[in-house]
Structure 1
């Protein structure tokens, strides 16, 4: 009973609600909008630019359409469409598994976000829902469960195209999870911890793994370690593309071969859950890349929490006063903004890659995972261990 009345539980609930409802779900919606607009720019067309908000309500504005604000209401229209659309369940499916598959695909992506440190502190409260010592292992373990939702969806649909999509997804996930896990080992060796907040703290004091020169003098040890860090970043990012089923690795749902893959038979909110799960997994993957390689919420010159770690001038107040707490909260919000700004930049890279590269053949996909990424990631571990042993 005392646990349910404790402040830690309520702070965790508040951080969870903020992360899911105020950040992730709106970010998912507008990532879809950004993808449609960016793909339109790449393909030299307009994209959604009409569904918006009534600008004529603003005094002096006569036209509801704006080239900048037009289309910003498209995610709202999409959500209403999915909610009101008929939920059609084919008669030939296994209904129980058909119903639970979308939830099994959506939930792991949301749960993995609990271990992500998306900010420093606000009024002494760390901006991470679950601050656990094995945060990286927790994310790998939970994210691997999402493949069950896809496989169950393909099997329970009792249709050949969804079944082929589910089989492809399971083999793809198994193949690239090995490369992704091995790619993260050099980061653990360099930072000396599996705790994600500690990995961020290491980069705050020693420079980002991809840009070690961003914190102080670039010594020769940092210069040498930058090489395996870049290799780990490349292999980890490629594996993340495959884990989130993004082009050029979208073989489980390739429209030109399998209609829509594992969600061919789904409609309405069940299809929307697969859609939300894919984009939430993409946000979680980009967040993990930011934490491991790009310094997390840190940015040179911007203080962390109440002012530690930055060179920007700001007034100092005595601890325990209102203004000290106010400054702490402001810098904490700035750190959260920096973190999700980095995530948004990586999301744009994911979108750009999707609309510029062709899809692999399945044999090419498996060859890349087993004959190249796996070996490169494995050799990179020995390279990192050798450099650390030599420099220390």
Structure 2
């Protein structure tokens, strides 16, 4: 576990540098390039900067909760890594092979959901204890957003549980290696989980809990120095955890590509079946590569899409994702009853639910609200559009 924490902290530090480089590339800039060759020492420079910053604590805050909140946010993000499988079995010379995993938990999926739900406590406590209206609004937004999007996330995960009949993450990976990737059977479930991941990690375009234009800094407005750094470290650690979780749940974990176990290629069979240390490194590299792709996608979306209003964010969850998730669970159950869960009917049902969800979301979009709703119609015909 100590080794994993060290690896995670290194990945988090350089994920921040990677985001700054991706941002610079998208904006036609160079990015950090002064601290070390090609800016590779920039994470260490940022860490020293945070350590040397003044640790200012306002006199009006609730000090115990004020100090506890960043610790909760960081700790919850870190402990989610414990059940992520980074490979299969490896023989290290002991009495029996071990898994490339900190803890092989029987209820790994439920553990991930429980740990993710605990993350809201750190944000709410940060907003409440700061005794600042902007921080309080940010904490309330974070609570409403995360609790709302956990419902469609749970429904998307339930689809996978129904299909595979497993709640252990390593068993779900092995099921996909024997059958096919879940993203091919349930693309809509993956899409729902991907959207909810943006909300759970407070990433743009769903970062309304800390939107600068409205709330200054949101729930961490009053924080500085290492207390503020813990929030950022927790955010990027959560981002890596969510990326690894999606790679495990829908993209076959350490399987290189779909149906690869059926090809009979010797080097692939060696990677999948050999319990040697080099094979375990190859499996880890495959999972890590998928995680990097997801992280790059999260970063690309951050600098591409605009931020919606908070009411639009909540309406999208309750009018779009939740009905789609419920319909998907019902159809998956019916397909299982008919022994057709792994047939072409599964992606077809996903496509039908997606079309119905888009239609319902369009029909339920309200008439123009606010000041414009009371203005006289143009040419006698009122206009309807999305907010």
Cα shift at 1:76:
1.0
Counterpart contact for 2:260–2:268, Cα < 8 Å:
no
Deviations 1:210-260 (A, max 9, x none): 24xxxxxxxxxxxxxx2xx10100001000110100011000000111111
Deviations 1:114-144 (A, max 9, x none): 1111111221210111111110011101111
SS of the residue aligned with 1:348? helix
Deviations 1:38-93 (A, max 9, x none): 1111112221122214xxxxxxxxxxxxxxxx111111111111122221111111
User: Closer, same or farther in 2 for the Cα pair 1:199/1:90, shift >3 Å?
Assistant: same
In the aligned structure 2, how far is the partner of 1:310 from the partner of 1:117?
A: 24
Counterpart contact for 1:120–1:336, Cα < 8 Å:
no
Match of 2:52 among 84, 88, 96: 84
Cα shift at 1:309:
9.4
SS of the residue aligned with 2:300? helix
Q: Which residue of 1 aligns with 2:324?
A: 376
In the aligned structure 1, how far is the partner of 2:4 from the partner of 2:222?
A: 31
Deviations 1:141-168 (A, max 9, x none): 1111111110000011111111100000
In the aligned structure 2, how far is the partner of 1:74 from the partner of 1:313?
A: 39
Match of 1:208 among 181, 187, 193: 181
User: Closer, same or farther in 2 for the Cα pair 1:302/1:80, shift >3 Å?
Assistant: farther
Asked whether 1:261 is paired with 2:218, we answer yes
In the aligned structure 2, how far is the partner of 1:195 from the partner of 1:125?
A: 16
Cα shift at 1:303:
9.8
Gaps of 5+ in 1: 1-15, 54-69, 212-225, 317-323
User: Closer, same or farther in 2 for the Cα pair 1:71/1:379, shift >3 Å?
Assistant: same
Question: 1:1-392 counterparts in 2 under 5 A?
Answer: 16-22=1-7, 24-53=8-37, 70-123=38-91, 124-211=97-184, 226=185, 229-300=186-257, 311-313=265-267, 328-391=276-339
Aligned CA RMSD, in angstroms, stands at 2.1
Gaps of 5+ in 2: 92-96, 341-387
Cα shift at 1:105:
0.6
In the aligned structure 1, how far is the partner of 2:41 from the partner of 2:289?
A: 21
In the aligned structure 2, how far is the partner of 1:235 from the partner of 1:314?
A: 31
Cα shift at 1:300:
4.4
In the aligned structure 2, how far is the partner of 1:336 from the partner of 1:160?
A: 45
In the aligned structure 2, how far is the partner of 1:368 from the partner of 1:43?
A: 29
Counterpart contact for 1:173–1:242, Cα < 8 Å:
yes
Q: Which residue of 2 aligns with 1:220?
A: none
Counterpart contact for 2:172–2:249, Cα < 8 Å:
yes
User: Closer, same or farther in 2 for the Cα pair 1:243/1:315, shift >3 Å?
Assistant: closer
What TM-score, normalized by structure 2, do the two folds share? 0.82
What TM-score, normalized by structure 1, do the two folds share? 0.81
In the aligned structure 2, how far is the partner of 1:49 from the partner of 1:153?
A: 34
Counterpart contact for 1:102–1:271, Cα < 8 Å:
yes
SS of the residue aligned with 1:242? helix
Q: Which residue of 1 aligns with 2:359?
A: none
In the aligned structure 2, how far is the partner of 1:294 from the partner of 1:346?
A: 11
Cα shift at 1:312:
3.1
Q: Which residue of 1 aligns with 2:362?
A: none
